[in-house]
């Protein structure tokens, strides 16, 4: 008879102004865990406009709803864990004033196999973009404006519904 070991799992969400270290976060999620065979990570950056109609961005400020934001991220992580075999999940989202090129968001999903890790990472980002209460305000030379929500983001989250 095979013995079934209970796999320990780590997960954490953070909302912070400080920068994050992707390598250190991956090292932490895999430390001492020989059953992890796949780690998928996603890093979102503040992107400057590159099209002819884009106005150059000088900064972006992220506002959030303290308390609800963390709860919403925890809920999204719990949904991912219910759908896929995950051994660890890490979500970090920054707030405050950021410059083009700065990292905004990190999602890491660790699993035995890559399929679950890739899928969970994408699912968490799609849900984060439509369910977690963050709002971006762009600053340009011409002034500042709140970023409009995109229909494409709703569509991306919607494709995960069964």
Give the pair of three-digit tokens for residue 8: 């320990």
Q: Give yes or no for residue 100 binding another protein (CB under 8 A).
A: no
* Helix ranges, 6-133 (H): 22-30, 68-83, 114-131
Q: Give yes or no for residue 97 binding another protein (CB under 8 A).
A: no
Interacting positions 109-148 with another protein (CB under 8 A)? 125, 128-137, 146-148
Q: Give yes or no for residue 90 binding another protein (CB under 8 A).
A: no
Q: Residues in contact with another protein, total (CB under 8 A)?
A: 28
3-state secondary structure of 151: helix
Quick note: the x/- pattern for another protein over 30-49, rule CB under 8 A, is: --------------x-----
- Could you count the other beta carbons within 10 Å of the beta carbon of residue 20? 18
* 29 vs 104, beta carbon nearer another protein: 104
d(C-alpha 146, C-alpha 9), whole Å: 38
């Amino acid at each position: 008879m095979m013995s079934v070991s209970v796999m320990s799992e780590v997960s954490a969400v953070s909302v912070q102004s400080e920068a994050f270290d992707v390598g250190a976060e991956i090292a932490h999620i895999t430390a001492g865990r020989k059953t992890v065979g796949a780690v998928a990570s996603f890093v979102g950056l503040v992107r400057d406009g590159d099209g002819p109609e884009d106005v150059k961005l000088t900064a972006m400020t992220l506002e959030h709803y303290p308390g609800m934001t963390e709860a919403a991220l925890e809920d999204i992580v719990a949904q991912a864990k219910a759908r896929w075999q995950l051994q660890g999940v890490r979500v970090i989202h920054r707030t405050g004033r950021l410059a083009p090129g700065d990292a905004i968001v990190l999602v890491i999903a660790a699993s035995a196999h890559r399929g679950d890790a890739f899928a969970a990472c994408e699912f968490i980002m799609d849900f984060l973009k439509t369910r977690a209460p963050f709002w971006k305000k762009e600053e340009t030379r011409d002034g500042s404006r709140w970023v409009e929500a995109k229909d494409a983001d709703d569509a991306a989250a919607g494709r995960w519904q069964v």
